[in-house]
Amino acid sequence: MPMPEPSPIVVVPGDDPIQIADSPQLDRLRERAEVRVYRDRPADAGEQIARTRDADIVLNSRGQVAWSGQLFGQLPRLKMLTTCSIGVDSIDIAGARQHDVVVSNVPGLTAPVVAEHTLALMLAAAKRLSYQTSELKSGRWTKRTNLMLAGGVLGVIGLGAIGSSVARLAQAIGMKVIAWSYHPSPERAAALGVEFVEFDDLLAAADVVSVHVKLTDDSRGMLGARELALMKPSALLVNTARGQVVDTNALIQALDSGNLAGAALDVFDEEPLPPDSPILNCEQVVLTPHAADQTPAGIELLNTGAVDNILAFLEGAPRNQVT
């Protein structure tokens, strides 16, 4: 009688802070595979390799656990890696491809969750909520002029699932929406009721610019000193995409010089944000710790998508591939 094939091994190499370790989604996975979960981050590359040496599949729940081509080269058993996120900028995609590792992500599922957070940041920046709350808590009755968004123009950079959801929410509060995309189309513009414009024209016309592009070589630093100078002094910048899309030093200079009225950021060049980061000294900012999709429902949507990716791969039908 032939011996049964061993179960594939799935490793979660560093679930810190906890996202999937206690999720019921892992019970579905345990019916098909041996699942090993580490609740803390590996201290270094050596520990990361040691944790995943036997892995057939890696479930990367946190982007702080990064994957280089060199790491893939030291894991000959590894066949597939799925993220618990949309972004894959912590993964060397070319290196994965070179070593025949399938990489999948979880696109689109949390778009309404992130869009709602984006709208909240936009409103908080427009109404100076962070600053005015801080002043009241300090015992000061300080007033600042708020901004009215209804009747204003929202410029959306990147009109994928999240950008489209943000456009709909902005229209619901009375904003006109213009957009720039790598792949504009008249059909998409008509379906969403938006107008596609040139990149510089969007920056010049928008009262709020909201960023929703993934981080690539093309998008890294796409909003620098030149681009920020094109924006109205009364305008706001909202970024829930990736910190490196915006030149942080140029943003701080624009805020401090009065060339920009405010910013609302959920993402940063370095995460966690260092306590001495200069952006913390800017009065006119609203900041959240990369938490746009961190609601119970949003987290479970990401967990579900990642487990679905693994089960599809085990069935021989990989999905959501970025390699």
Which residues belong to the active site?
A: 242, 271, 290
Q: How far apart are the first and last CA of the chain?
A: 39
Separation CA 174–CA 271 (nearest Å): 34
DSSP label of 280: G
Segment (H or E) for 116: helix 111-126
The torsion angle over the Cα atoms of residues 48, 54, 58 and 64, rounded to 10 degrees, is 0
- Asked if 267 contacts 287 with a C-beta cutoff of 8 angstroms, the reply is no
Q: Which of 204, 208, 138 is nearest to 177 (CA)?
A: 208
Phi-psi region of 99 (alpha: psi -120 to 50; beta: other; left: phi over 0): alpha
List the 208-211 sheet strands across, edge first. 195-196, 176-180, 153-157, 208-211, 236-239, 262-265, 285-287
State how far the Cα of 183 lies from the Cα of 220, in Å rounded to an integer.
Answer: 18
